[in-house]
A = this chain, B = another copy of it.
Amino acid sequence: MNRRKLLRLLSQGLALGSFAKLSSATGQAPSPRSFSEKSFESMKTLGAPLREYGERSEFEKEVVRYISPNLRTRHSGADFTPLEKLEGVITPSSLHFERHHGGVPSVDPAEYRLVIHGLVERPLMFTLQDLKRFPSVTRTYFIECAGNGQNGYRNPPDPTLTATRSRGLMSNSSWTGVPLAILLKEAGVKAGARWLIPEGQDAAAYTRSLPLEKALEDVLVAYAQNGEALRPEQGYPVRLVVPGWEGSIQVKWLRRIEVADAPVMSKDETSEYTDVMADGTIRAFTWVMDPESIITYPSGQQAISRGFHEIRGLAWSGHGRIRRVEVSLDGGNSWKQASLEGPLEPLAAVRFKYNWVWDGKPTTIMSRATDEAGNTQPTPEEFFARWGRNNRYHYNAIQAWHVGADGKVLNGDKALPGALAPSRLGAAGRGGCGGEA
């Protein structure tokens, strides 16, 4: 061991000066109670044996997806990833947000078939094993419900908002599958084909229209998530992964893909997942998710004390890589660049961080993301100026958190002038995507 190098390492530290006084607030000098009876308890008895399949600690059972108590049914709705209770960027599969329109079907993989038909030279049917024999691709991609952020439409803002309820319809996984382009090439797409009509094997026969061009670019017919088979609520055994696009087009429990010359205009892309513009007209096919970010610590309903904190959050964009995340510690008057933790993969969530010493004064913190295509997350005012207030999808405005003098963190979004159009948000019969009513 090179003593000189060692001394240099010790004296340098890690160039993280701003938290140098953290120890006064946290680490304590050990007392005779440091190694108390309790800390020895687990050392006195033999622990649990080897298990074939592990489970999380009994002490972590409160980390669950958020299911709104206002849902009228749990068979067609959504639940939320508990963003502020997680670390890093991989969403544990058990906590990936859910969204389904007829409940989660049970599909026997031995009976599973995928059919590609319509405007093709050779209609084909694949078993699950067939799909796994093709060349595979594994990529980390976020999936986000088009309704994520829907609470942002509320006016006045909900003071009890959490990071989970603000943006928990976004999860980030490592997906494995065969490129749909390969399967289409096997089938031989006929001239005139421009659209794909994927259909799910669920009780909703969930059906969407997907442009052929996107399918040829990067769409996966995925059978694995975070190393193992897809989870049931994520489409077991096979789903589409459509990188960067709204989650609702990433059809789960995929049973067939019809190659067509026009979109099918299914119930699932007309009665839902269309956008009501300011003038009342309806916009269809808003697929790409604009850049978003959210501070997960400190965030709504948490409480902090004075001193050092690492502000942590997540950012993502359907337009490519996140290029920059800025943090404001003064209600948006000034912005500082947060650090991004690599590897910075395109169309995947990234973790951002900023070292902050809180002086105990009330303040409002927020983050804004910019992607490599140059799109920057708007303020709520900018967002509503562009989109109007009648919609309930694709909200990507900045989320602010207010830190009170007591350290309590609350929703920092401000009420905006004007009443909320009552016809959309929370309207009966419009399902539960993003909404809690």
- Report the bound CA distance from A106 to B57 in whole Å: 8
B residues in contact with A107, CB < 8 Å:
42
- Digitize A72-108: 1 where CB-to-B-CB distance is under 8 Å, 0 elsewhere: 0111011100000011111111111010101111111
B residues in contact with A51, CB < 8 Å:
65, 79, 98, 233
Which of B42, B49, B351 is the one whose CB lies under 8 Å from A202?
B42
Tell me the smallest distance from the CB of A406 to a CB of chain B, in Å.
18
A341 located at the interface, meaning its Cβ lies under 8 Å from any Cβ of chain B in the complex: yes
Q: Within A196-255, which residues are at the interface with B (CB < 8 Å)?
A: 201-203, 205, 211-213, 216-217, 223-224, 226-233, 236-237, 253, 255
A48 located at the interface, meaning its Cβ lies under 8 Å from any Cβ of chain B in the complex: yes
B residues in contact with A236, CB < 8 Å:
57, 59
Flag if B48 contacts A103 (CB, 8 Å). yes
- Report the bound CA distance from A194 to B202 in whole Å: 61
- Report the bound CA distance from A345 to B89 in whole Å: 15
B residues in contact with A1, CB < 8 Å:
194, 211-213
- Report the bound CA distance from A209 to B305 in whole Å: 36
User: Given that A22-B186, A59-B108 are contacting pairs, would A43 and B203 also be in contact in the complex, using a CB cutoff of 8 Å?
Assistant: yes
B residues in contact with A100, CB < 8 Å:
47, 50
B residues in contact with A34, CB < 8 Å:
113, 115, 125
Flag if B179 contacts A103 (CB, 8 Å). no
User: Given that A176-B87, A202-B42 are contacting pairs, would A30 and B124 also be in contact in the complex, using a CB cutoff of 8 Å?
Assistant: yes
A28 located at the interface, meaning its Cβ lies under 8 Å from any Cβ of chain B in the complex: yes
Flag if B227 contacts A104 (CB, 8 Å). no
A343 located at the interface, meaning its Cβ lies under 8 Å from any Cβ of chain B in the complex: yes
- Report the bound CA distance from A18 to B108 in whole Å: 31
Flag if B52 contacts A67 (CB, 8 Å). yes
Tell me the smallest distance from the CB of A83 to a CB of chain B, in Å.
10
B residues in contact with A73, CB < 8 Å:
49
- Digitize A293-328: 1 where CB-to-B-CB distance is under 8 Å, 0 elsewhere: 000000000000000111010000000000000000
Flag if B52 contacts A79 (CB, 8 Å). yes
Tell me the smallest distance from the CB of A223 to a CB of chain B, in Å.
8
Flag if A343 contacts B345 (CB, 8 Å). yes
Tell me the smallest distance from the CB of A298 to a CB of chain B, in Å.
11
Flag if A113 contacts B255 (CB, 8 Å). no
A423 located at the interface, meaning its Cβ lies under 8 Å from any Cβ of chain B in the complex: no
- Report the bound CA distance from A419 to B422 in whole Å: 83
- Report the bound CA distance from A76 to B133 in whole Å: 39
Flag if B30 contacts A92 (CB, 8 Å). no
- Chain-B contact segment, one of A5-13, A267-275, A374-382, A385-393: A5-13
B residues in contact with A87, CB < 8 Å:
136, 138, 176, 223-224, 227-228
A13-B185, A52-B65, A54-B231 given; 13 more Cβ-contact pairs under 8 Å: A1-B213, A42-B201, A43-B202, A44-B203, A47-B75, A49-B103, A50-B74, A57-B237, A59-B109, A86-B227, A135-B310, A136-B310, A136-B312
Q: Please provide the 3 A-B residue pairs with the shortest distance between their CB atoms, ordered closest to farther.
A: A47-B103, A49-B74, A42-B105
* A–B pairs, 24, beta carbons within 8 Å: A2-B213, A19-B135, A23-B186, A27-B126, A30-B125, A31-B125, A42-B107, A42-B202, A47-B75, A47-B100, A50-B98, A54-B94, A56-B93, A56-B229, A57-B229, A57-B236, A86-B227, A87-B176, A87-B223, A87-B224, A87-B227, A88-B138, A92-B226, A134-B310
